Structure 1
Amino acid sequence: MHSHDEALTKVVIDHVQHRLALDPVPLGRLGDASELETALKEAIGTGPAAADDVLRLYAEHIEPTVVSCDSPRFLSFIPGAPTKAAALFDMVLSASSLHGVSWLEASGAIAAENQVLRLLADLAGLPAQAGGCFVSGGSAGNLSGLVVARDTARTATGEPVARPRIAVSSQAHSSIGNTLRIIGVEALVVPVDDHRLTGEAVRAALAADPSPEDVIAVVATAGTTNAGIIDDLTGIAEVAQEYGLWFHVDAAYGGGALFSPELRGRFAGIEHADSLVVDPHKWMYAPFDCGALLYRDPALARAVHTQDASYLDCIHTDAPQEWNPSDYAYHLTRRPRGLPLWFSLAVHGTDAYRDAVDATRRIALESAGLIRAADGLELIRDPELSVVLFRRAGWTRDDYYAWSKELLERQIAFVTPTVWEGETVARFAFLHPGITLDAVSEILATMTVPVG
């Protein structure tokens, strides 16, 4: 199993070349459970099988039943659209069995990852000492960052806070609530103004709270998942400094906009973050799973996350140039998932990333214009980043879901409804720079005819 097989290699490489060359990328479809069970029933046996037969099984039954996030017409959730360079290098990463636990084992990989982290820190305006690591995504980043917030919080006497709470808004990503449950910290839910958390609202909530000294941190969102709204980062940072709170910024989706000079001003205040999460597998065109976690003072994170075991003593030294990603999040074993992004950035340059972000921002604005001009459609709010919310007059929840299903069945697009202020509505999430206004027009045209 561990010796080179020329035929196996060729079968797989040929498939990869074919997949990368597809233009357009097929959307994929929802699989039928019974059909998949039948197709896969005897896939794994006690003896070997021909690689081309197994790959044919994958190509005919598995791959078509996975909706392709790298299709320009994947407009649901927050999609991903890795560059071809990043996707290819992800194959190099896997084929080479590279890992990135410690400087002792993976100094070159870590040095390259840290070069990207430095770029992201500079885009955010974080200080020279800022640093961190790549994790699997925003959920892992939020968990790891808020664990540091919890474990570094102290009372005026230097004792740990007995009943720590963290201020959040109702619009925070679902992983924030999950994180608080996992780490045993209660939420102080702060009311929002038009779905946007403000410094004024945080200050008012703290002033009205009977035990504000228990609040140890505040979480702001730089690009909400549902609508792409950026919180009042400057105002929240001021309140965090005033009350001595850890300032955590979740920019998992919106952080890609830091590449755009046109959009950068909307993120004023992000430079004050104590911990910052950005997901390159979203708007920075890296493959899954790639999240960047940055700390203003990495030493605080290292004190919390460094794992102590006799067999790990050899990787922990006082050498200033040595950097162990395992010291900055809850993980230990990890793949150097930042390398595909490093490769793509090196190949294409940062201007190409700026242009791709600006292109998707333009398509969001142009799509909003189409919706305003269309009979029977209503734009819910002007897009702040690249998410567009809109409604079809007279439609019910069932209408939206039937429309979404028909779009996928007809291979027009993958667009799933969402809920806005209790109402089911339509939502576009634009990230792929290959989406065209003609494609958007085609999608919108389907809303003017009966569904089903």
Structure 2
Amino acid sequence: MPEPPPLDEPVAEAWFDGDLAPEDFRALGYRVIDAIANHLRDVPDLPVFAGRTPEEVARTFDEPLPKHGQEPARILDDWDEKVLPNATHNTSPRYFGYVMGSGTPMGILAEALAASVNMNAGGWKPAPSATEVERRTLAWLAELIGFDPACGGVLVSGGTMANVTALHTALRNAAPYDTTPRGLQDEARTGRFLVYASDHEGHVSLVRAVDMLNLGREALRRVPSRGDFTMDVGALRGMIEEDRARGDLPFCVVAQVGSVNVGAIDPLDEIADVCREYGLWLHGDGACGAVGAMLPEKRLLYAGLDRADSVSLDPHKWLYVPYECGCVLFRDPVTQRRAFTMEASYLQGILPDGYHGHDFYELGPQMSRGFRALKVWMTLKHYGAEGYRALLRQNVRCAEHLDALVRADPDFEPLHAPVLNLYCFRFVPARLRDDVDAHSEYLDRLNQAITDAIRASGLAFVMTSQLRGRTVLRLSICSHRTRLEDIERVFDDLRRLGHDIDRETGTAAAAAPVVVV
């Protein structure tokens, strides 16, 4: 048998090193820290909204895929030249859109530290310290809002995934048959699985949740609300009985724990009584407002929160930490594990060892998870419970001050008393007060135009919303940097813009299109 031909000698190749030299990385890091520090220093004076069109922003980033690497210092130039000038500064004390926190300094540093170790917080073995930091953080969050610190829980991306996680767990634990093996396709299912929430203030993330669970959007039953925007519990009871008599399968009630428009808190104790009577899961959607329970002066509003089976809250909202970080807590940890546990040899190993800890991939929807807990843990340690109470009280005080300004001005209409840090009102010229309904379309357009104008000016980011069919100005005071003078400055500008736009357009503006900026 002939000898095989000799193998070709391997060609020596340069090994590509993806790391930076320590001194180069340090220099770039100092530059980044300087940029962050300068931004935090300057943000009170920056335009809150860039005021550029989607096409303009897209053109800024229209470049081909780099074939060869670029100098790191030049890449950082793009931050100053491209990214920051096209950013909306929700770090500003006058950012009042959506419900978005302002980003804590310790949270910023924590994000960099978490990225540096790059732990996958899905399992204990790849992330021992990250796992235990998250467990401790969850216990602290529960303690802050009066929930049992021995509860279960998991950090997720935000309120939507917190609600999806809670409703999935509710379905697994409250359905009249075991949905784990065959889900919705089991022959034991006799009707539709149903979820109940407020008709007005129920968050749109609940629609996403029933969508993702494939229950169908009609599975979300809207319960009438009372004059104060809280759920009518008598109506809830009647709907449950009617649906059960029809053969449907009610399994969960979602109570608002600080609603998205007005901060309404549903009567939690009464709803808990109904859920206990009918064997339903009670989920408290507190993404916007659950952390208000840490204020002793507000605690009565939250009576019954400790009876909820699950509660969602978003640290990236009213705890101010940088995006993204949501949270869902479960009163009974066993229910959480029952909903998500799974086995895989490549995750756990075949033979037992002494290093099996708390695996979050068995307790939520994600397998791979970032180290979200570090920024919450470090910020909680920085401010402490009392520091957080002081910051939340400042936001509530700002909402109350805004309400006082609105009520003292004949050209504004108050729509509710402030409960927490969210407030809605309308600009209604005094000349139209006697016949508001006849001018409803004009007033809708006028208030929309006011928000468009103040946003385009860069002074503040304000959005409209709807309260019972009316377009309203809505301020979410969710920044630890906001002061009373910011509220007064923005209110004065809203009033000036309202008068200017009303004077220029008059009632004829009802027929003119409003351009949303």
TM-score range, shorter chain: over 0.9
Closer, same or farther in 2 for the Cα pair 1:128/1:426, shift >3 Å?
Answer: closer
- Percent identity over the alignment? 27
Query: SS at 1:409's partner residue?
Result: helix
Shift of 1:183: 0.9
Structure 2 gaps, min length 5: 1-16, 180-185, 430-441, 505-517
Query: SS at 1:417's partner residue?
Result: strand
Q: Contact 1:70 / 1:81 at 8 angstroms: preserved in 2?
A: yes
Question: Is 2:429 aligned against 1:413?
Answer: no
2: distance between equivalents of 1:386 and 1:397? 23
Shift of 1:19: 2.4
Aligned positions of 1:232-271 closer than 5 A: 232-271=267-306
2: distance between equivalents of 1:385 and 1:404? 22
Instruction: State the partner residue of 1:180.
Output: 210
Q: Contact 2:428 / 2:443 at 8 angstroms: preserved in 1?
A: no
Query: SS at 1:390's partner residue?
Result: strand
- Aligned residue identity for 2:135: N
Deviations 1:108-132 (A, max 9, x none): 1111111121122223333354111
- Aligned residue identity for 1:168: A
The answer to which of 433-442 and 286-295 deviates more is 433-442
Larger radius of gyration between Structure 1 and Structure 2: 2
2: distance between equivalents of 1:73 and 1:307? 46
Shift of 1:411: 2.2
Q: Contact 1:233 / 1:270 at 8 angstroms: preserved in 2?
A: yes
Q: Contact 2:230 / 2:265 at 8 angstroms: preserved in 1?
A: yes
Instruction: State the partner residue of 1:64.
Output: 85
Query: SS at 1:293's partner residue?
Result: strand
> Normalised by the size of structure 1, how large is the TM-score?
0.93
Aligned counterpart in structure 2 of residue 3 of structure 1, from 16, 19, 25: 19
1: distance between equivalents of 2:220 and 2:128? 39
Closer, same or farther in 2 for the Cα pair 1:292/1:33, shift >3 Å?
Answer: closer
Q: Contact 1:28 / 1:64 at 8 angstroms: preserved in 2?
A: no
2: distance between equivalents of 1:110 and 1:33? 40
Question: Is 2:397 aligned against 1:362?
Answer: yes
Shift of 1:83: 1.6
Aligned positions of 1:48-87 closer than 5 A: 48-87=69-108
Structure 1 gaps, min length 5: none
Closer, same or farther in 2 for the Cα pair 1:363/1:157, shift >3 Å?
Answer: closer
Shift of 1:164: 1.7
Question: Is 2:194 aligned against 1:165?
Answer: yes
> Normalised by the size of structure 2, how large is the TM-score?
0.82
Deviations 1:410-437 (A, max 9, x none): 2211111111111111111111132222
Deviations 1:8-27 (A, max 9, x none): 43443332332233352622
Shift of 1:317: 7.0
Aligned counterpart in structure 2 of residue 450 of structure 1, from 500, 505, 511: 500
Q: Contact 2:146 / 2:293 at 8 angstroms: preserved in 1?
A: no
Instruction: State the partner residue of 1:111.
Output: 132
The answer to which of 55-64 and 271-280 deviates more is 55-64
- Aligned residue identity for 2:29: T
Shift of 1:403: 1.8
2: distance between equivalents of 1:285 and 1:335? 19
Instruction: State the partner residue of 2:235.
Output: 201
The answer to which of 62-71 and 380-389 deviates more is 62-71
Aligned counterpart in structure 2 of residue 427 of structure 1, from 467, 474, 477: 474
Deviations 1:161-210 (A, max 9, x none): 54321222222110111111221332232222232114333212223332
- Aligned residue identity for 2:19: S
Shift of 1:438: 2.4
Closer, same or farther in 2 for the Cα pair 1:20/1:43, shift >3 Å?
Answer: farther
1: distance between equivalents of 2:170 and 2:77? 49
Instruction: State the partner residue of 2:11.
Output: none
Aligned counterpart in structure 2 of residue 287 of structure 1, from 322, 331, 343: 322
- Aligned residue identity for 1:423: R
1: distance between equivalents of 2:375 and 2:206? 27
Closer, same or farther in 2 for the Cα pair 1:161/1:249, shift >3 Å?
Answer: farther
Shift of 1:157: 10
The answer to which of 337-346 and 434-443 deviates more is 434-443
The answer to which of 43-52 and 277-286 deviates more is 43-52
The answer to which of 197-206 and 320-329 deviates more is 320-329
Instruction: State the partner residue of 1:403.
Output: 450
1: distance between equivalents of 2:353 and 2:240? 41
The answer to which of 117-126 and 412-421 deviates more is 117-126
Pairwise CA RMSD: 2.5
Q: Contact 2:163 / 2:205 at 8 angstroms: preserved in 1?
A: yes
Q: Contact 2:43 / 2:92 at 8 angstroms: preserved in 1?
A: no
2: distance between equivalents of 1:410 and 1:316? 64
Shift of 1:88: 1.5
Aligned counterpart in structure 2 of residue 45 of structure 1, from 41, 46, 66: 66
Closer, same or farther in 2 for the Cα pair 1:156/1:413, shift >3 Å?
Answer: closer
Instruction: State the partner residue of 1:313.
Output: 348
Q: Contact 2:314 / 2:325 at 8 angstroms: preserved in 1?
A: yes
Instruction: State the partner residue of 2:183.
Output: none
The answer to which of 22-31 and 344-353 deviates more is 22-31
Question: Is 2:225 aligned against 1:192?
Answer: yes
Aligned counterpart in structure 1 of residue 40 of structure 2, from 20, 45, 64: 20
Query: SS at 1:103's partner residue?
Result: coil
Instruction: State the partner residue of 2:51.
Output: 30
Instruction: State the partner residue of 1:121.
Output: 142
1: distance between equivalents of 2:247 and 2:89? 46
2: distance between equivalents of 1:296 and 1:349? 24
Aligned counterpart in structure 2 of residue 222 of structure 1, from 257, 279, 283: 257
